[in-house]
Amino acid sequence: TSFEGLGAAIISLVKGKPVANLVTKAIWHFLHTICVPVNSLHAQVHVSTGCVPCTRPGLPWQHEKEG
């Protein structure tokens, strides 16, 4: 993907997703290993967090982003 940068220069942008193929357990292990601060709601069964009215715990049969 390219976009127009400062001074009308065209800049190529490469995006990577280093955790795209990791399972959730591996991601959490990595975050705890390198001491990344995380939202305390994740410890309270909120797999996905967003705005206040939309953040709620997902039900067991729902996809993790439905909560």
For residue 20, the SS3 value is coil
- Check residue 29 and give left, alpha or beta (phi > 0: left; psi -120 to 50: alpha): alpha
Q: Residue 6: its pLDDT value, please? A: 67
Q: Residue 4: its pLDDT value, please? A: 66
Q: Is the pLDDT of residue 1 over 60?
A: no
**Closest-CA residue to 24 (of 52, 63, 55, 67):** 63
pTM score, two decimals? Answer: 0.48
Q: Residue 3: its pLDDT value, please? A: 65
Q: Which residue has the higher pLDDT, 30 or 15?
A: 30
- Check residue 65 and give left, alpha or beta (phi > 0: left; psi -120 to 50: alpha): alpha
